């Protein structure tokens, strides 16, 4: 982002990892997953997902991932495109 400087102060991170619903599941199970009734409990776990994106964002969003002081991490299914949604707020 043009002119953006990586955060240097404490940051709060909110992240949701959206996994694609397995196509092998029946219609009922797929609907329950899309509605959030069934949640992904398979590997990788949230911690492994986090490690990768914390390192990837170092030098881009924050100067170092050690400045993350608060976080909320979720793993969910989606019928749409698998993705990661991240919100980072710097604490002033």
pLDDT at 2 > cutoff 80 = no
Kindly tell me the sign of the dihedral angle through the C-alpha atoms of 76, 77, 78, 81.
positive
* Candidate from 1-5, 38-42, 63-67, 83-87 with smallest mean pLDDT: 1-5
pLDDT at 71 > cutoff 80 = yes
**pTM here?**
0.84
* Percent of the chain topping pLDDT 90: 76
Q: How far is CA 76 from CA 13, 33, 37, in A?
A: 17, 8, 10
Over residues 8-18, the mean pLDDT reads 96
Backbone angles phi, psi at 71, to 5 degrees: -150, 155
């Amino acid at each position: 982002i043009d002119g953006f400087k990586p955060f240097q102060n404490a940051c709060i991170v909110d992240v949701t990892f959206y996994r694609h619903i397995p196509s092998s599941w029946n219609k009922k199970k797929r609907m329950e997953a899309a509605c959030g009734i069934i949640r992904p409990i398979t590997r990788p776990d949230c911690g492994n997902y986090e490690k990768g994106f914390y390192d990837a964002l170092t030098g881009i969003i924050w100067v170092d991932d050690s400045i993350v002081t608060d976080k909320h991490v979720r793993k969910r299914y989606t019928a749409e495109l698998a993705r990661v949604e991240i919100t980072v707020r710097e604490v002033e």
